[in-house]
Amino acid sequence: MAINQIRFFGLSRTIPIALRKGLICLLTVAAMTSIFGVSLAATMQLISVKEVSPGVVLATVRLLTAELPNASDFWLRFNGKSAIRAKEVKPAQSVPPETSVIFCIDQSTSMGQPHIQQIQKALKDVVCDPESPLNAAVWVFDSEVTKLRGFSRDGPEFAADIDEIGTGHGRDGKTRLYEAIELALSELGNYRTKGPKRLILITAGKDNGSSITEQVVINEANIQNIAIDAVAFGNVSDAGSELLARLADDTNGRFSSPMNSQQLARELRKLLDLTPSHAVEVLFQYDIAEELHRIGSAQLEFAPDGQPPMLLTIKQGLSVPWLAPFAGDLPTHPASKEEINRLIFLWITIGTIGFLAAYLVSRRRAKRSP
């Protein structure tokens, strides 16, 4: 048998070529799995929650999924103590499809006029398209936060407002990113519509002068179930890119970093094409506690098989369940991509080491044989 000399885990051994190729293949699979784990996360938005009667809850949600979800994919959680699996899922009867969007644009001096002009061009290409009417508003921020136009579906009228981006700057040279997000979230939260709401943020990702923190706006977005789509554009530092990625990830939004006007317009169209393919009604039924009272900290969880779970806060009070549906701990959700990758890598590594150990033992026995 042909043999080659290789070093494996710090040990120099003569190992047959066939075995060497097998080991390399196993390690390659482990590495690729660790690096390129598949992500199938869906986007979910809570449209409404209604307690039909004590212990009967009907939630209407929008989902960007290829197939209609199963009842087993949904859980209603209470204070981390009780979890109720959905009884039934069916298509919603009538849900307005329109999405309401606020474009929140960084016009601080650090952005630079060339980047402002590219943003203006991309917005006009996307928002002012008469064939794709969009209910949108345009806000800008630097040391101040300004609403250039409230919600409107009149694309051509937006052109004049878009031209105003970058024409005025605050006096103190600040960039109040977090305060702009907070005000835009408040505007979206108070806007009366049953359709999805999104905040599309175009900025270099630097806050300078806000009186609130990153975590405050993330918490507010999650409480209101509003996704923040963060677009890194302009003179973006590594820290700015990381900040925007966190904002998007922690609010179930999307992060992108286009390099020019054409790429920016393309990314904006992708974001605006995130129309959920399913609007469903999810029914929960459970026995209520003997002493009827309500709780205001329930969560709706969507955890389809093989995907990381998504949690949305339910702001209205719901009747408290009598007990958890399982003894002991709450039911667990499917393992996340990172957890699956670690387990697969561990299994392959243990198997590889065991295989190598068995081979070395057999070699030693062969040498001892007369």
* Two tokens, residue 9: 């885990």
pLDDT-derived band at 295 (thresholds 50, 70, 90) equals: confident
Q: What is the mean pLDDT of residues 54-68?
A: 84
The pTM assigned to this predicted structure is 0.57
Cβ-based neighbours of 153, under 8 Å, separated by 6 or more? 133, 134, 135
pLDDT score for 156: 75
Q: What is the mean pLDDT of residues 243-267?
A: 95
pLDDT score for 133: 66
In 3D space, the residue among 161, 149, 257 whose CA is nearest the CA of residue 203 turns out to be: 257
Q: What is the mean pLDDT of residues 318-325?
A: 74
* pLDDT over 60 at 43, yes or no: yes
CATH class for the region spanning 100-272: alpha beta
Considering the segment(s) 47-95+279-319 as one domain, its CATH architecture is Sandwich (2.60)
pLDDT score for 10: 42
Cα separation, 56 vs 287, whole angstroms: 9
Average pLDDT over all residues of the chain? 79
Residue 162 to residues 155, 236, 272, Cα–Cα distance (Å): 11, 22, 18
pLDDT tens-place string over residues 97-138: 578 899 999 999 889 899 999 999 999 988 876 656 688 999
pLDDT tens-place string over residues 204-250: 999 999 999 999 999 999 998 899 999 999 999 999 999 999 999 99
Cα separation, 268 vs 49, whole angstroms: 30
pLDDT score for 368: 60
Q: What is the mean pLDDT of residues 193-211?
A: 90
Cα separation, 97 vs 312, whole angstroms: 20
Phi, psi of 123 (to 5 degrees): -65, -40
Q: Where are the domains of the chain?
A: 47-95+279-319, 100-272
pLDDT score for 118: 96
Give me the DSSP letters along 7-39.
EETTEEEEEEHHHHHHHHHHHHHHHHHHHS---
pLDDT tens-place string over residues 128-180: 766 566 889 999 999 999 999 999 887 777 888 899 998 876 667 789 999 99
* Two tokens, residue 214: 């990153």
pLDDT-derived band at 16 (thresholds 50, 70, 90) equals: low
pLDDT-derived band at 57 (thresholds 50, 70, 90) equals: very high
pLDDT score for 98: 72
Where is pLDDT greater, at 39 or 182? 182
Contact (Cβ atoms closer than 8 angstroms) between residue 231 and residue 243: no
Strand pairing class (278-285; 255-256):
unpaired
